[in-house]
Structure 1
Amino acid sequence: MNFIIATVVLILIIIFRYFLLAGAFWLGFYKSKLQSIKKRQIYDFLPDSSQQLYEIKWSMYTSIVFGLSGVVMGLLWQNNLTQIYLKFDQFGYWYLPASFILTSLVHELYFYWTHRWLHQPRIFKLFHKVHHHSVTPSPWASFSFHPVEGVIQALALPLIVLVVPLHPLVVLIYLTAMTISAVSNHLGFEILPQNSEKFLAKWFVSGVHHTQHHRYYRYNFSLFYPFLDVLFKTEHPQFSRDFRTVFDKKAK
Structure 2
Amino acid sequence: MENPIIDYRQFFIEDADFYNRILLGFFLPNYFWVPLPRFFQTWLRNYIGGVLLYFISGFLWCFYIYYWKRNVFLPKEAIPSRKAMLLQISVAMKAMPWYCLLPTVSEYMTEIGWTKSFPRIDNVSWVEYIGYLAIYMVIVEFGIYWVHKELHDIKPLYKYLHATHHIYNKQNTLSPFAGLAFHPLDGILQALPHSLALFIVPVHFIAHLALLFIEAVWTANIHDCIHGKLWPIMGAGYHTIHHTTYRHNYGHYTIWMDWMFGTLRDPEEDQGKAM
| Fold equivalence (TM over 0.5) | yes
Check 1:122–1:169 CA distance in 2 against 1; reply closer, same or farther (3 A cut): closer
Paired residues in the alignment total 235
For residues 80 and 236 of structure 2, the distance between their equivalents in structure 1, rounded to whole angstroms, comes to 15
Which moved further from structure 2: 123-132 or 162-171?
A: 162-171
**Distance apart, 1:225 and its partner CA:** 1.5
Any stretches of 5+ residues in structure 2 without a counterpart?
1-35
For residues 222 and 169 of structure 1, the distance between their equivalents in structure 2, rounded to whole angstroms, comes to 24
Check 1:99–1:178 CA distance in 2 against 1; reply closer, same or farther (3 A cut): farther
Check 1:96–1:66 CA distance in 2 against 1; reply closer, same or farther (3 A cut): farther
Indicate the SS of the match to 2:225. Answer: coil
**Distance apart, 1:34 and its partner CA:** 6.2
Which residue is equivalent to 2:29? none
2:246 to 204, 208, 217: 217
Letter in 1 for 2:62: W
Check 1:41–1:99 CA distance in 2 against 1; reply closer, same or farther (3 A cut): farther
Computed over aligned residues only, the root mean square deviation of the Cα atoms, in angstroms, reads: 2.4
Check 1:81–1:220 CA distance in 2 against 1; reply closer, same or farther (3 A cut): same
Structure 1 or 2, whichever has the larger Rg, is 2
2:121 to 84, 88, 110: 88
For residues 57 and 131 of structure 2, the distance between their equivalents in structure 1, rounded to whole angstroms, comes to 25
Q: Does the 8 Å contact 1:208/1:243 carry over to 2?
A: no
User: When you count helix as a share of all residues, which structure comes out higher?
Assistant: 2
**Distance apart, 1:185 and its partner CA:** 0.6
With normalisation by structure 1, the TM-score equals 0.84
**Distance apart, 1:129 and its partner CA:** 0.7
**Distance apart, 1:245 and its partner CA:** 9.2
Which residue is equivalent to 2:7? none
**Distance apart, 1:112 and its partner CA:** 0.9
With normalisation by structure 2, the TM-score equals 0.77
2:226 to 168, 171, 189: 189
Taking CA–CA contacts closer than 8 Å with sequence separation of 6 or more, which of the two structures ends up with the larger relative contact order? 1
Indicate the SS of the match to 1:31. Answer: helix
Check 1:244–1:185 CA distance in 2 against 1; reply closer, same or farther (3 A cut): farther
1:15-34 aligned within 5 A: 15-33=51-69
